[in-house]
């Protein structure tokens, strides 16, 4: 567990430092107005107006998340946010447990790497699910591509486990719509769906004979397929020049083999909610 977390930190550090070294000559201070979420972030992809100058945002807050994927119990979690927009249209976006970078200097096209961290499933609130064999934290690496047109945005993303935790992949399709209500307020809506491989589904939703004996849950085979559909909303409010607020809310519905798994159908819930509030600072 410790080695996996260290690897995640190292890789993320290399990701940040490499990006900074490559783009540092383009950096300029300034930037005002609302900073939209852009095609990035775990919950709500949406359109981002191209920054006229380099713009940096940092955020810190807290949210409520499911205890595990498919849980009916919730827990508090710290929220971190960082975004850098360059005048070329390229950007770096980190939020929650996911980081991505658009390497295409275009006001509309998006293409680049993605790094995603999935926390371990251990010591959860539900006794039977807790008795299952622990699932180590996973590091998912891949890429995304997208296109923004007007207030609309679309993207596709594929990430593969490189940590040996679930050995699977997840493919995501997303659609976003952003409304710049004023110079201080932006509202963005999103819809997403995720397709997961058999290895991923088996790791988080399957129950083999050994795990059935440990937990008392019935055995269950979870095959590859669409595992969820979701909608989200983001509010970015900047009442002051540098300080603002970022509010996220999302609803995800587990479907297919994920919904029918005993860890969801018997012990958890197919309805998954997320909510969070951050204070942001713009440079």
Read off the pLDDT of residues 18-63 as tens digits, 9 standing for 90 and up.
444 444 443 333 333 333 333 334 444 444 445 556 899 999 999 9
Predicted local confidence at residue 53, as pLDDT: 63
Q: Which of 34-48, 162-176, 183-197, 222-236 has the lowest mean pLDDT?
A: 34-48
Distances (CA, A) of 160 to 43, 100, 120: 19, 14, 16
Measure the N-to-C terminal CA separation of the chain; round to a whole number of Å. Answer: 36
What average pLDDT is seen over the chain? 87
pLDDT digits (tens, 9 = 90+) for 116-129: 999 999 999 999 99
Residue 235 burial (CB count, 10 A): 15
Range 88-116 average pLDDT: 96
Q: Say yes or no to pLDDT of 160 above 60.
A: yes
Q: Where are the domains of the chain?
A: 2-24+46-282
Question: What is d(CA 181, CA 193) in angstroms, rounded to the nearest whole number?
Answer: 27
Predicted pLDDT of residue 54: 87
The domain 2-24+46-282 having CATH identifier 2.40.160.40: the answer here is yes
């Amino acid at each position: 567990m410790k080695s996996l977390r260290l690897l995640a930190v190292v890789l993320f550090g290399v990701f940040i430092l490499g990006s900074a070294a490559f783009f540092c000559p383009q950096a300029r201070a300034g930037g005002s107005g609302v900073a939209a979420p852009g095609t990035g972030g775990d919950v709500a992809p949406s359109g981002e107006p191209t920054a006229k100058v380099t713009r940096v945002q940092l955020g810190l807050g807290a949210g409520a998340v499911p205890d595990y994927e498919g849980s009916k119990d919730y827990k508090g979690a710290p929220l971190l946010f960082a975004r850098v927009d360059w005048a070329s249209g390229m950007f770096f976006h980190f939020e929650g447990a996911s980081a991505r970078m658009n390497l295409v200097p275009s006001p509309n096209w998006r293409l680049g790497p993605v790094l995603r961290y999935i926390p371990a499933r251990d010591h959860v609130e539900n006794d039977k699910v807790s008795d299952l064999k622990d699932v180590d934290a996973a590091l998912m690496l891949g890429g995304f591509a997208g296109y923004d047109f007007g207030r609309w945005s679309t993207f596709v993303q594929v990430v593969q486990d490189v940590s040996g935790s679930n050995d699977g992949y997840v493919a995501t399709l997303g659609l976003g719509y952003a409304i710049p209500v004023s110079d201080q307020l932006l509202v963005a809506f999103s819809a997403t769906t995720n397709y997961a491989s058999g290895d991923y589904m088996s790791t988080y939703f399957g129950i083999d004979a050994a795990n059935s004996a440990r937990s008392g849950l019935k055995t269950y085979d979870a095959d590859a397929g669409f595992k969820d559909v979701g909608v989200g909303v983001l509010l970015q409010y900047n009442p002051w020049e540098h300080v603002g607020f970022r509010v996220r809310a999302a609803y995800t519905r587990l479907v297919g083999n994920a919904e029918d798994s005993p860890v969801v159908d018997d012990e958890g819930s197919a309805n998954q909610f997320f909510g969070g509030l951050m204070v942001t600072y713009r440079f």
